[in-house]
Amino acid sequence: MARRSLSLRDAVDWVRTHRPDDWSEPAGEFGREDVAAHYADTFAGVPANSVSRDERLARYRVSDSPIPVLLGLYGSAERVGQLLPGLPQAITPATARAMVSAARPPTRTAEPPCRQVRDLKLHDLPVLRTTPRDAGPYLTMGIVYAEGHGCGHETVALSVHRMLVLDSDRLAIWMVPGRALRALHEQGGRLPVSVNLGAPPAAMLASALSSAVLPAAKLDVAGALAGSPLALADAVSQPTSVLAESEIVIEGYLDDTTADEALSGPPAASLPEFLGYDGDARTGLPVLTVTAVTTRRDPTYQAVIGPGREQSVILGLAGALSVALSADTDLISDLHYGPSGGGMLLLVVAVRKQSTADDGRLGALARRIFEGHGFVKLIVFTDDDIDIRSTDDVLWAMTTRANLGSDCTTFTGFRPLGMDPSQRPEWGRGGAGDRTWIDATAPFARKGDMVRSFRPAGAR
């Protein structure tokens, strides 16, 4: 099996060899505050800007560091699918369960590539400041690994968080409520952690899966996505583990130390978020004290600019798998989170009706999805002849197979999402906790009348 999903550098080599048009190395050197802006203007897509496109993989040379910066690996869902042989082409409850059934626990190695070089400091890494409004330079693609006990059993947290560089050995970390890492930290005491940068693609996607619906450990599922077990190793300065194939590993611990998300005065913004707007700076964030930084030889620093196709693909693929794992129904023939919702707010569900009774099942399915997946704001149901990854095709279905006055339903009483400006109290038009679903499917009895004039070869 090709190693393209077992390490970042293998994935990059595969893209450069098999999809050379997806690769770019911008000429010249860039300042750390200029990389993200160049990528946003040149390569990024919605919601970073108004351009609908897949994103290229780009490697930047940075003026004050020998370590290059990599952006865009996950900027194409098709490309990610080629990198991860275990990722289902169509995401349904059946294919998601089959993926989990192929879970493969990680192996352990005594000589991990990630510690070929030691004795670095945080400031040796080309950590980006995405915009001039940011509170400071942020780590944006570090997978945090931690082990502990929760609910009477061993818990392993594997998740990505924004981390502000405070100085040469401290990071301020924002943990969304409900995440496993936050639960472990809130138990008190010192929590050893590793931050894995440039981690294997399978680990990145697995880290975004919902632990609440996952019947297996995330790293085991990463082995299923990769088609081969990932490797762990002991950390060098903390009693925890690291992802052995990572480009860069930061080791340290969380305790009761806190800091505000500011380097000089109270900023209004943290950094650009996945929906395309600046995030809010936080106060009293946990501090990660760094005890070691190790790398592979000739490492690459991986980052994300925040909004754009890359973030939407990671969140969207993991979100679709999470919904599929929680949905006990034969209706779903595919799931897709649109980049228009940052990979989290807009969910398109293709359904395959078998009888007139299925016409009345969509509302209950929508409510179950809303109740189990708190970020979903809008669900659009389509027939399975619609390309749910094409915004134009989904809008065509909404236009010709729905009358929104009768086919659009809103549920009330859900928790508003503060990241969405339209759900904040100051929006002024109400509806902050509303969730809406649209039935853009043909009634079962009318399906024979709703056949496209030009059908793809092989279509039913």
Would you state the torsion angle of the CA atoms of residues 422, 321, 19, 249, taken in this order, to the nearest 10 degrees? Answer: 80
Contact (Cβ atoms closer than 8 angstroms) between residue 262 and residue 134: no
Contact (Cβ atoms closer than 8 angstroms) between residue 193 and residue 252: yes
Taken in order of first residue, the domains within the chain and their CATH numbers are 8-309 (2.30.110.10), 345-449 (3.40.1670.10)
Backbone angles phi, psi at 80, to 5 degrees: -65, -40
The secondary structure of residue 117, as a DSSP letter, is: B
| Pairwise CA distance, residues 141 & 161, whole Å | 8
**pTM assigned to the model:** 0.96
How many Cα neighbours within 13 Å face the side chain of 442? 17
Burial letters 157-185, b for 16+ CB under 10 A, else e: bbbbbbbbbbeebbbbbbbeeebbbbbbb
Distance of CA 132 to the CA centre of its chain: 24
| Pairwise CA distance, residues 162 & 32, whole Å | 17
Contact (Cβ atoms closer than 8 angstroms) between residue 44 and residue 305: yes
The position carrying tokens 């190790």 is 294
What are the CA-CA distances from residue 445 to residues 322, 403, 441, 460 (Å)?
32, 17, 11, 16
Q: ∠ at Cα 173 (167, 179), nearest 5°?
A: 165
Contact (Cβ atoms closer than 8 angstroms) between residue 255 and residue 185: no
What is the pLDDT tens value at each position of the chain, 460 positions in all?
456 779 999 999 999 999 999 999 999 999 999 999 999 999 999 999 999 999 999 999 999 999 999 999 999 999 999 999 999 999 999 999 999 999 999 999 999 999 999 989 999 999 999 999 999 999 999 999 999 976 556 789 999 999 999 999 999 999 988 889 999 999 999 999 999 999 999 999 999 999 999 999 999 999 999 999 999 999 999 999 999 999 999 999 999 999 998 765 566 789 999 999 999 899 999 999 999 999 999 999 999 999 999 999 999 999 999 999 999 899 999 999 999 999 999 999 999 999 999 999 999 999 999 999 999 999 999 999 999 999 999 999 999 999 999 999 999 999 999 889 999 989 999 889 999 999 999 999 998 888 999 876 655 5
Predicted pLDDT of residue 458: 53
Contacts of 123 (CB under 8 A, 6+ apart): 165, 168
Predicted pLDDT of residue 269: 84
| Pairwise CA distance, residues 31 & 447, whole Å | 57
Q: Which of 347, 351, 390, 353 is nearest to 369 (CA)?
A: 347
Q: Which of 247, 300, 248, 303 is nearest to 71 (CA)?
A: 303
Predicted pLDDT of residue 1: 40
Task: Report the residue count for the chain.
Answer: 460
